[in-house]
Amino acid sequence: MIQVDKLAKSFKDKKRGIVHALDHVSFQVKAGEIFGLLGPNGAGKTTCLRLLATILKPTSGTAQVGGADIVQSPESVRRQIGFLSGDMGSHARLTPREVLSFFGKLNGITGSKLSQRIDQMVELFDFREYADTKIDKLSTGMKQKVAIARTVLHDPPILILDEPSAGLDVPTARLIERFILNAKESGKCILFSTHVMEEAEYLCDRIGVVHQGRLKAEGTMEQLRELTGKQRLREIFLDLLDMPEAVGAGI
Ligand SMILES: Nc1ncnc2c1ncn2[C@@H]1O[C@H](COP(=O)(O)OP(=O)(O)OP(=O)(O)O)[C@@H](O)[C@H]1O
Ligand SMILES: [Mg+2]
């Protein structure tokens, strides 16, 4: 469902010169599979997800999402994905119900089908209480739940989620985890980024560790354990970042 082939993106920055945000990264995610991108701040995770969601154009390399090329057929890619970007800024003055309605219509859902689907989302992500409150009056976690509902409203086969659990409390993060596992069970292809090790370990079929724009390793927990000789994902992660001393320092 997702095939990434030597994908690269550089930014020209006045102060920093050329920033190689993503540096020839390749990996694949199948239907019914959850792939997690793990990496420190600035590693290139968001850049990678934005390229796949066709928000950015690659400097070189390519990727197919749902059989469509991200550069040649961005509309076809967009029709098949739900992309969670963590940015609800432009909808601050709408209510969650209004946002869902707007996005539903954008995706061709109308009438009673749309109102049914919105009700489903409100129940599933548990925000009946504030479904009609303006978004700028909601807490970070409340906004995140609405953003996730918006991403999956049109039931796309491919989910690309940038830090879905950011800002969520434990019960809400659990709700989202269950949602992701259910989506996998129903055959969806899920690619997400996270900083939460337990979440990655619990959810992912395969994990890719990104550092300084490069994919340092990817595989199942078992494969990553074999590769590094470490047990816990936290230790595996630091090892792949060449920072094993940080474990001893209690970081
Ligand atoms: N529009 C841009 N212009 C210049 N540099 C950028 C731009 N977008 C991203 N970068 C740079 O690309 C690199 C990767 O950033 P990116 O946002 O992809 O990292 P990330 O892995 O998502 O980090 P985080 O965990 O903090 O979200 C960083 O060095 C960042 O400063
Ligand atoms: Mg990011």
Token pair in block for residue 225: 């354990």
pTM: 0.94
Could you tell me if residue 49 is inside a domain? Answer: yes
Please tell me the predicted confidence (pLDDT) of residue 167: 85
Atom 17 (ligand 1) nearest CA? 46
* CA of residue 97 to ligand 1 center, whole Å: 32
Could you tell me if residue 139 is inside a domain? Answer: no
Please tell me the predicted confidence (pLDDT) of residue 23: 97
Could you tell me if residue 64 is inside a domain? Answer: yes
* CA of residue 110 to ligand 2 center, whole Å: 33
**What does DSSP say about strands 214-219 and 206-211: parallel, antiparallel, or unpaired?**
antiparallel
Could you tell me if residue 9 is inside a domain? Answer: yes
- Report how far residue 84's alpha carbon sits from residue 173's, in angstroms, rounded to the nearest whole number: 15
Domain of 69, CATH number, reads 3.40.50.300
Average pLDDT, the chain: 93
CB 144 within 8 A of CB 151: no
Average pLDDT over residues 61-76: 97
- Say yes or no to pLDDT of 172 above 70: yes
* CA of residue 212 to ligand 1 center, whole Å: 10
CB 90 within 8 A of CB 135: no
- Say yes or no to pLDDT of 10 above 90: yes
Which residues are paired to 194 by β-bridges?
38
Atom 7 (ligand 1) nearest CA? 11
Q: Which helix (H) or strand (E) holds 164?
A: none
Please tell me the predicted confidence (pLDDT) of residue 89: 60
- Report how far residue 87's alpha carbon sits from residue 144's, in angstroms, rounded to the nearest whole number: 9
* Total residues belonging to the chain: 251
Residues 177-192 as b or e (16 or more Cβ within 10 Å = b): bebbeebbeeebbbbb
Could you tell me if residue 131 is inside a domain? Answer: no
- Report how far residue 227's alpha carbon sits from residue 11's, in angstroms, rounded to the nearest whole number: 32
- Report how far residue 21's alpha carbon sits from residue 42's, in angstroms, rounded to the nearest whole number: 8
Q: Taking the alpha carbons of 221, 223, 224, 225 in that order, is the dihedral positive or negative?
A: positive
Please tell me the predicted confidence (pLDDT) of residue 91: 80
Atom 18 (ligand 1) nearest CA? 44
Could you tell me if residue 21 is inside a domain? Answer: yes
Could you tell me if residue 204 is inside a domain? Answer: yes
Please tell me the predicted confidence (pLDDT) of residue 179: 94
- If one counts the domains in the chain, the total is 1
Find the ligand nearest to 214 CA: 1
* CA of residue 196 to ligand 2 center, whole Å: 13
Please tell me the predicted confidence (pLDDT) of residue 96: 96
Could you tell me if residue 197 is inside a domain? Answer: yes
Atom 24 (ligand 1) nearest CA? 41
Q: Ligand 1 pocket by C-beta < 6 Å: which residues?
A: 11, 13, 19, 21, 39, 41-47
- Say yes or no to pLDDT of 114 above 70: yes
- Report how far residue 13's alpha carbon sits from residue 21's, in angstroms, rounded to the nearest whole number: 11
Domain coverage including residue 25: 2-87+157-219
Please tell me the predicted confidence (pLDDT) of residue 90: 67
CA 178 to chain centre: 15
Q: How confident is the model at residue 233 (pLDDT cuts 50, 70, 90)?
A: very high
Average pLDDT over residues 91-118: 94
- Report how far residue 192's alpha carbon sits from residue 120's, in angstroms, rounded to the nearest whole number: 23
Residues 20-54 pLDDT 10s: 999 999 999 999 999 999 999 999 999 999 999 99
